[in-house]
A and B are shown apart, each in its own frame.
Chain A
């Protein structure tokens, strides 16, 4: 863990309010304590880094004046009921420009209806569960103030299946935890296997519970069925137990699964048994071009860390703020509804650390929730755990992303 440093505090001072009405007020929400904290804290820190940089340049140009950004932080502790309370509180603020955050799909489902009711603009990042957006297309809402800035599970499961096919691992075992996230991940995987021509044969489907440490039985069933790879959907600690079980049983087959396989509590608990694990990522902590190198350097300096707890969350938090700021500039207003209109038709390309974002969202189409999803498959790559870090699994992606991030 990073040692406490004064720098985040100093950054905080930079984003303090000058006086009401003269600022762009953005709320950052997420789990800043507990098991999901690596994602929540990284997202918050990435976002605050972008805000500090914008404020250092005087703020966002609105009309004749430059308005600094003011931050409101709320820790939802990954608890659904806390998330609902925070959403109620925030949507009662009449000067709020918008909300960025949420890690846990349950929290999103509990809270976002309050934002939608009041028309508060929210960018969800990094929560990936498909339901966060499909709930709105299923409800057939006409106008939506919720956007998502994360590679949703639909993209991720399709990449996982494609990766197994690409590596010629045709007999796979599915392992998933018994939570909503794990079960819907399993269903996404099965759907993708169908969609991609049924090339993969599922030889075993096994589940495990939160808190399980011994996966011997599940893994042996996979082994005796002749699985060549394990496709897995769960969170850090149990994923690590699966990796350690593979090591113990001497099974040299890869684990491929959701982006949670990059959580620091997977990497640390699995140790060398985690090496070779594959997962979709939207950002890899490698200085592939000057833009990313500068971001990594200022993040490490500001928060006094050598490794980001969750690089994907940090980069998404950073880029989400830049996109939001671009929308404020285009709207020429701090009114949350006008910012929403601007987000749906963002004219100016935004040079982020993940990509240069051209028109990331479009007008809400109830028949297609992709209209409010920023990520497409090309913004994600396969990452691989190697000696305590996540690196590019395919060198070609490294070159592709390095170029994409340079912009034009």
Chain B
């Protein structure tokens, strides 16, 4: 019985952790090319989920709604890059920090006015009746989150490694100046990374909404965890976020079970402090070696 409960806590936690990992991956995508992050990433998750919900209300089937939401996310990512990041980067300033926060706040108030302040259910064709594996209950809905998250991360990594465009993005990540010298537009690579990051946020929104419901505050709760995951894993670690995300999710579940529900967030924060103290580049990060 006890083993089963631990198993249940670890599995449920790790599956939720994959959502943190997916959003953290969105942070990594833009950080690697431009050394900048969208602090309004959580609001992108939320707005995309609302757009997806509106599509469903308009009668779009699930299979069609997902691509529409992803396209919306990509466009929103591009808009963030143009409005809040590009000028700051050109001026080598840190203005993008404030600007992305402002864009996030704007999206938050806009969606409160458009969609209201209530949490709303998100319809999905995927069943939430539990399946039993070795005494552990898992719902197909949770499995869909895991498959979707791992799937899209795999595809983007494949794209970065196997296509010319992807390699260009990688080149800009490695050294933007050198990449410019061989004729790669760093600006375009950054735009592409923001579009992909927005798309990843939209997917996270579509995947997690049937479990958590959709509401204006849904992004804030997720994004803080995702940020810890990105930092603990290292902002340039690729698949590291998957392991750290699952680990953090499982740890949270176990903590709230054994220490009490009030202590749920504590181990994640301790982990963050420890990681920053011991490995400031992240557990899976590479320390940048600059040859002079």
Report A's interface with B, CB cutoff 8 A.
33-35, 37, 178, 206-208, 211, 213-214, 216-218, 220-221, 223-224, 237, 240-241, 244, 247-250, 265, 268-269, 271, 273
Cβ–Cβ < 8 Å partners of A241 in chain B: 212
Stretch of B91-99, B189-197, B254-262 contacting A (4+ beta carbons < 8 Å): B254-262
Q: How far is the CA of A237 from the CA of B212 in the complex (A)?
A: 10
Q: How far is the CA of A224 from the CA of B142 in the complex (A)?
A: 22
Q: How far is the CA of A271 from the CA of B120 in the complex (A)?
A: 11
- A269 close to B213 (CB less than 8 A): yes
Q: Which residue of A lies closest to B258 (CB)?
A: A217
- A220 close to B121 (CB less than 8 A): no
Known contacts A207-B262, A211-B221; is-contact A224 B1 (Cβ 8 Å): yes
Partner of A248, one of B2, B5, B13, B128: B128
Q: Does B119 contact A (CB under 8 A)?
A: yes
Q: How far is the CA of A221 from the CA of B264 in the complex (A)?
A: 14
Q: How far is the CA of A178 from the CA of B12 in the complex (A)?
A: 23
Known contacts A216-B9, A248-B128; is-contact A237 B213 (Cβ 8 Å): yes
Report B's interface with A, CB cutoff 8 A.
1-2, 5, 8-9, 12-13, 16, 117-121, 128-130, 132, 137, 139, 142, 211-213, 215, 217, 221, 253, 256-257, 260-262, 264
Cβ–Cβ < 8 Å partners of B213 in chain A: 213, 237, 240, 269
Known contacts A206-B261, A265-B118, A271-B121; is-contact A220 B128 (Cβ 8 Å): no
CB distance from A394 to the nearest CB of B (A): 29
Q: How far is the CA of A136 from the CA of B260 in the complex (A)?
A: 36
Q: How far is the CA of A269 from the CA of B120 in the complex (A)?
A: 7
Q: How far is the CA of A348 from the CA of B215 in the complex (A)?
A: 48
Q: How far is the CA of A268 from the CA of B118 in the complex (A)?
A: 11
- A248 close to B264 (CB less than 8 A): no
- A217 close to B261 (CB less than 8 A): yes
Q: How far is the CA of A273 from the CA of B8 in the complex (A)?
A: 20
- A217 close to B139 (CB less than 8 A): no
- B9 close to A220 (CB less than 8 A): yes
Q: How far is the CA of A289 from the CA of B14 in the complex (A)?
A: 53
- B253 close to A216 (CB less than 8 A): yes
- A249 close to B257 (CB less than 8 A): no
- A216 close to B8 (CB less than 8 A): yes
- A265 close to B119 (CB less than 8 A): yes
CB distance from A75 to the nearest CB of B (A): 13
Cβ–Cβ < 8 Å partners of B128 in chain A: 244, 247-248, 273
- A214 close to B16 (CB less than 8 A): yes
Q: Which residue of A lies closest to B112 (CB)?
A: A34
- B117 close to A35 (CB less than 8 A): yes
- B119 close to A217 (CB less than 8 A): no
- A217 close to B253 (CB less than 8 A): yes
Known contacts A213-B212, A220-B5; is-contact A248 B121 (Cβ 8 Å): no
* 11 new A-B contacts at CB < 8 Å, known A213-B212, A213-B213, A220-B257: A35-B118, A208-B261, A214-B12, A217-B256, A217-B257, A224-B5, A244-B211, A247-B130, A248-B142, A269-B213, A273-B128
Cβ–Cβ < 8 Å partners of A268 in chain B: 120-121
CB distance from B260 to the nearest CB of A (A): 8
- B5 close to A249 (CB less than 8 A): no
Cβ–Cβ < 8 Å partners of A271 in chain B: 121
Cβ–Cβ < 8 Å partners of B261 in chain A: 206-208, 217-218
Q: Which residue of B lies closest to A270 (CB)?
A: B121
- B211 close to A213 (CB less than 8 A): yes
- A237 close to B119 (CB less than 8 A): yes
CB distance from B81 to the nearest CB of A (A): 30
A to B CB contacts below 8 Å, 15 in the list: A34-B117, A206-B260, A207-B261, A207-B262, A211-B217, A213-B212, A214-B212, A214-B253, A216-B8, A216-B13, A217-B9, A220-B8, A241-B212, A248-B139, A268-B120
- B137 close to A250 (CB less than 8 A): yes
Cβ–Cβ < 8 Å partners of B139 in chain A: 248
Q: How far is the CA of A33 from the CA of B116 in the complex (A)?
A: 9
Instruction: Among A35, A213, A273, find the residue whose CB has the most chain B CB atoms closer than 10 A.
Output: A213
Cβ–Cβ < 8 Å partners of B257 in chain A: 217, 220-221
Q: Which residue of A lies closest to B221 (CB)?
A: A211
Cβ–Cβ < 8 Å partners of A211 in chain B: 217, 221
Cβ–Cβ < 8 Å partners of B221 in chain A: 211, 213
Q: Which residue of B lies closest to A251 (CB)?
A: B137
Cβ–Cβ < 8 Å partners of B16 in chain A: 214
- A269 close to B119 (CB less than 8 A): yes
- B212 close to A249 (CB less than 8 A): no
Q: How far is the CA of A49 from the CA of B282 in the complex (A)?
A: 63
CB distance from A104 to the nearest CB of B (A): 15
Q: How far is the CA of A271 from the CA of B117 in the complex (A)?
A: 20
